Amino acid sequence: MKYVSTRGGMNAQAFSDILLEGLAPDGGLAVPESIPQISAQTLETWRTLPYHALATEVLSLFVTDIDRTTLASMTASAYCKESFKTEAIVPVRPLYDGMSLLSLSEGPTLAFKDMAMQFLGQVFPYVLKQRGTTLNILGATSGDTGSAAEYAMRGKDAVAVFMLSPHGRMSAFQRAQMYSLQDANIHNIAVKGVFDEAQDVVKALSGDLAFKSKYRLGAVNSINWARIAAQIVYYFHGWLRSTSAPGQEVSFTVPSGNFGNILAGHIARSMGLPIRRLVLATNENNVLEEFFRTGIYRPRGAAQTFATSSPSMDISRASNFERFVFDLVGRDAERVAGLWRELSREGFFDLSAMKPELDRRYGFVAGCSTHQDRLATIRAVHARTGVLIDPHTADGVKVAAKYVEPGVPMLVLETALPAKFSEVIEQALGMPAPLPAGLENLESLPQRFTVLPCDVASVRAYITEHAST
């Protein structure tokens, strides 16, 4: 399997070659040259596989330049009971009215980012070692991604993580989760600024090409293809666990931000998995919902992006969306390049003429949810089932309810555990969310972090001193 760019300007490359890169050289995103097809018979043979073995089957279709035995040992280490606290890795929990939760948040940081990041924590060190090089991952975080990256890379060879976080602006739980890591290769840098300013420092340093190459800076952002590939696995798992016969259809609802999670569902469906609907749920930041309703894509700037109670979905420019548009326009890279030129010129593009095809061929529908909806949904799910859901999952359940059809199981992707967003749970139910077993003392553990001014020179000096060589 080789990878090409959505904008056509990259020679076909192997998985390991695109693994450590960000954008393709032409500004596009890496996509598989063709989509592997899974027959109904093959699917049936996967029914009894444990999660890690299923991951080996699915990933081996996309990762053809790493031998299968090595890949199998990576998935076994990534998806183990020690990290996910449950034999199932991804349990399916019934709610009501045909809806169930696909629980993607049993990993070390209690959010679905672990599903992909745990695999990166295996494949990055392997490929780096093979190439005799090292990588210093630089990022800024306001929560989920940064901590998932740190837990995946902690103690790993050939990789160090430099994660900027806004000093004094994360919840006590999030701080404890990241700063309590004592591994020498994890560097928590609390900068005296807000998240956007931290992000600007990261952009400036990654944009300094001489510095970037001298210190081998890399990222683990949401456009990384390996993350998408690892996420495809749980759509297969969800289907296998909620059907009993070939061809039976299942719908999935996905709380969406950067379009990474639901893109993996789109690929699973393109591979032949019998998915009826892919329901895209947004919060008040509804750029994607608007696209699937109208065919017009109009991203918004930071000033028009609301800060909501499902903060990991406060995104108005979905970095993975281009990969779906590539498929929608018949994998025509020139057309994609043209659309993105139009986007930077006009601020939007209009594919409403393709709306009938969009509806007919891809199974997408969309809906949005508000703060009041989240509170009401958290209350309703708790009252009817005793299950506590987090605000992002609540956006999903709210929108899913509209699209449930008789005889078609509806799996709502649980993207975080409520303990991560306890203030919202308290607002909805008058009580905080309980901490998962083993994490009760997290906030009293010793913390290890460095406070720096939020400027390029200070962070540059810190990296120069501590980068892995």
Ligand X SMILES: *Cc1c(COP(=O)(O)O)cnc(C)c1O
Sites of contact with ligand X (CB under 6 A):
111, 113, 144, 222, 255-261, 312-313, 392, 415-416
Cβ proximity to ligand X, 268 vs 416, nearer residue: 416
Q: Residue 418 Cβ, how far from ligand X at the closest point, in Å? A: 11
Cβ proximity to ligand X, 263 vs 273, nearer residue: 263
Cβ proximity to ligand X, 121 vs 311, nearer residue: 311
Cβ proximity to ligand X, 104 vs 159, nearer residue: 104
Cβ proximity to ligand X, 100 vs 258, nearer residue: 258
Q: Residue 177 Cβ, how far from ligand X at the closest point, in Å? A: 13
Q: Residue 131 Cβ, how far from ligand X at the closest point, in Å? A: 28
Q: Determine phi and psi for 135, rounding to 5 degrees.
A: -140, 135
Using only C-alpha atoms, the chain has a radius of gyration, in whole angstroms, of: 21
Q: Which long-range contacts (CB under 8 A, 24 or more apart) does 41-47 make?
A: 41/246, 43/236, 43/239, 43/240, 43/246, 43/272, 43/273, 44/246, 46/236, 46/240, 47/240
Q: Residue 338 Cβ, how far from ligand X at the closest point, in Å? A: 25
Cβ proximity to ligand X, 259 vs 449, nearer residue: 259
How do 92-94 and 99-103 pair as beta strands? antiparallel
Q: Determine phi and psi for 414, rounding to 5 degrees.
A: -80, 115
CA distance 75 to 413: 21
Cβ proximity to ligand X, 106 vs 127, nearer residue: 106
Alpha helix stretches (DSSP H) within 161-306: 172-179, 195-207, 209-214, 225-242, 260-270, 287-294
Please check whether residue 252 is in contact with residue 278, taking contact to mean a CB–CB distance below 8 angstroms: yes
**Which residues are part of the catalytic machinery?**
113
Q: What is the DSSP string of 21-79?
A: --S-TTS--EEESS-----HHHHHHTTT--HHHHHHHHHHHH-TTS-HHHHHHHHHHHT
Q: Residue 264 Cβ, how far from ligand X at the closest point, in Å? A: 8
How do 3-5 and 159-166 pair as beta strands? unpaired
Q: Residue 221 Cβ, how far from ligand X at the closest point, in Å? A: 10
Nearest to 359, CA basis, from 292, 271, 297: 292
Q: Which residues pair with 349 in a beta bridge?
A: 297
Q: Residue 392 Cβ, how far from ligand X at the closest point, in Å? A: 4
Beta strands in 315-442 (DSSP E): 349-350, 364-368, 410-414
User: Identity (one letter) of the amino acid at 65?
Assistant: D
Structure tokens at 142: 């306001």
